[in-house]
Amino acid sequence: MLAGLAAALGKDLRLLARDRVGLVFLTVAPIVVISVAGLSLATLYGAEPRGGTAPVLPVADEDGGWVGRAVRERLADEPSVRARPVATAEAARALVQAKRAAAALVVPAGASEAVGGGRAAALVLLTDPVKTVDVAYVRALAQELRHGLEAAAVERARHELDAARAQAADARARFVHAADDLHRALDDLGARLEAMRADAERRRAAAERELRAALAERQAAARARLAAALAPLRAFLAELAAKRQAFAEWLAAVRERAGHFADRVPPPPEPPRVPPALEELASADPDAVAARLVAPDGAPALPPLAPPALPAAPSLDLPALPEPPAGRLPGPLALEETSVTGAPRRLNTFDQNVPGFGVTFLLLGVLLGVSLGLLDEDEWGTLERVRTTPIPLTAVLVAKLAARAAVGLVQMALLFVVGRLAFGVSLGPEPWALFLPTAGIVFAGTAFGLVVAAAAPGREAVLPLGSIAIMTMAAVGGCWWPIDLEPDWMRRAALALPTTWAMEAYNDLMIRRQPAGAVLGATAVLLAHGAVYLAVGLLLFRRRVLRGS
């Protein structure tokens, strides 16, 4: 069985190797179609990364300032357009009018000054309305560029504002710090004044006590001296009183003696009267006098120390410096496009076209190859002859499919290599993973070829039947254009086609840059398709072969 299978496989590989035209068809034709389609449709998806498909974009920098310079520099680094500097807007317009460019970009004079001065300015896009695709792409690019410049300007202003805010914040912080210091100094001053006041009070009280003591001492001394001083006066007054008493007695005696003449006796001169105060003074107790004159507690009290009330430390109600306002500039509302898979934002059109047209030609090769190969064997009579050998029919068919599948795998590998070298297609983070969907679609395609061979009534029916099947599967399955361009119902219907799953897997690996694990599901679906096709194909083909027996 295995030897027979190997013999049949070897024979089929030899048959394929002798089919030079077929091999050219399988290799050169897809490369040509991929090149043509990729270069033709490049602007539909983006552009191939080496600029070969980039549209020409005349750029007139009449500004000469930083805006014009930035525009030119950005476009010079943009692979999806070929920027051609021209001197004036008129020259740019002439190129568009001459249909040598779909659009031209003009940086008007004064743009830099206007933007720098906060005034509005505009880039001018001159367009040819017929070349809608290129214009749309350039328009989007110009918008992106404009937005980039605008965002950069805003960013610069924001930086400046941030710097000013930082300075203001620093000044505010220093002011607050100084205010705090001042508050602290005032508080300290108040405390010190209070202490000084208390100390003065204490000193005054002490002085007052000393003063009182001294005064009491001096009062005592004064009383003593007063008593001493009043003693003669008191003696005099006592003597005076005694004398006055004596004089009155004498006078009374005189008058008595003068009998009835006493009326004629002139009144004696009135002795001066002792002032009552002096009399009182003289009669008063010296201590009382001293006490009256120098009261023991009559020492003059020291005037209360009345320092001016401590001035309330000025509250130093410094106005709170407001926080520096947040950036007042309207923040640039950027559209930040991020591939959820981390893949580049720009699509290399060949990342779509190489697997897409590769799968198309793969199907042409394997599907038509298998079906026509089996019909060839039928016509040559070799199929019937081989059926008389010990090799089972199933082995014969499997060998035929395996040979075609091997060629299909080589074909796809070759296309990926050429795509990589010529068009820079991505092979994904794990290039080996491309084998998974490739093996799946090769298996499904070859097995479907068996179905076509079994279903087609004859050779003349294979081409139309196979072609319709292949073209439909390729087109609907997203081999020729991104499947997302198709309406929803068609995309749902496309899930029944193996091409859909193959392209989904290739897109995951090559464009979305997913690891191999991301395509295991799609590969399983492809293998399931292949298994079903194989089972149906074997059943139908055996029935077809045995129909006449």
Partner 1 sequence: MAPPILVEALRKSYGAQLALGGVSFEVAAGEIVGLLGPNGAGKSTTLGVLATLLRFDAGRVAVAGHALPAGAARARRALGLVPQQVAVYPTLGARENLRFFARAFGLGRAEAARSAAAALDLVGLATRAHEPVAWLSGGMRRRLNLACGILHRPAVVLLDEPVVGVDPQSRERIFEAIETLAQGGAAVLYSTHQMEEAERLCARVVLLDRGRVVAAGTPAALVAGAGLRPILRLRTGRPLPPGWLAGVAGATLADPSAPETTIAVTDTATAPAILAAALRAGGDVLEMALVRPSLADAFFALTGRALRDEDAPAASA
Site for partner 1 in 9-38 (CB under 8 A): 10-11, 14-15, 18-19
**Region near partner 1 per CB under 8 A, out of 1-9, 92-100, 183-191, 231-239:** 1-9
Residue 316: beta bridge partners?
Answer: none
Q: Which residues contact 240 (CB under 8 A, 6 or more apart)?
A: 274
What residues does 86 pair with on adjacent strands? 60
Nearer Cβ to partner 1, position 192 or 385? 385
Site size for partner 1 (CB under 8 A): 25
Closest by alpha carbon to 341, among 517, 521, 514? 514
Return the structure tokens found at 339. Answer: 């591939």
Task: Please report, as residue ranges, which positions from 494 to 513 form the binding site for partner 1 (by CB under 8 A).
Answer: none
Give least dist CB 546 to partner 1, A: 8
Q: How far is the CB of 384 from partner 1 (least distance, A)?
A: 6
Q: Is there a contact between 22 and 16 (Cβ–Cβ < 8 Å)?
A: yes
Q: Rule CB under 8 A: is residue 394 a binding residue for partner 1?
A: no
Name the nearest CA neighbour of 121 among 106, 137, 138, 136: 106
Task: Kindly compute the dihedral angle of the four CA atoms of residues 351, 356, 362, 367, in this order, to the nearest 10 degrees.
Answer: 160
Q: Within 10 A of 160 (CB to CB), how many other CB atoms are there?
A: 12
Going 368 to 373 to 378 to 379, the CA torsion angle's sign is positive
Q: Nearest approach, Cβ of 381 to partner 1 (angstroms)?
A: 3
C-beta closer to partner 1: residue 272 or 458 = 458
What value does the CA radius of gyration of the chain take, rounded to a whole number of Å?
62
According to the binding rule CB under 8 A, does residue 143 interact with partner 1? no
Closest CA to 108 of 122, 97, 96, 119: 122
* Structure tokens belonging to residue 489: 């119902």
Name which of residues 363 to 392 contact partner 1 (CB under 8 A).
380-382, 384-391
**Nearer to partner 1 among residue 10 and residue 259 (C-beta):** 10
Token representation of residue 480: 């020729």
Task: Please state the closest distance from residue 371 (CB atom) to partner 1, in A.
Answer: 17
Q: Residue 323 or residue 384: which is nearer to partner 1 going by CB?
A: 384
Stretch of 5-13, 92-100, 251-259, 522-530 contacting partner 1, by CB under 8 A:
5-13
The CA-to-CA distance between both ends of the chain, in Å, stands at 23
For residue 538, the minimal CB distance to partner 1 (Å) is 18
| Residue 547 CB, nearest approach to partner 1 (Å) | 11
Task: Based on the shown chain and the rule CB under 8 A, indicate whether residue 393 belongs to the binding site for partner 1.
Answer: no
Amino acid at 396: V
Nearer to partner 1, 297 or 384 (CB): 384
Binding site for partner 1 (CB under 8 A): 3-4, 6-8, 10-11, 14-15, 18-19, 380-382, 384-391, 546, 548-549
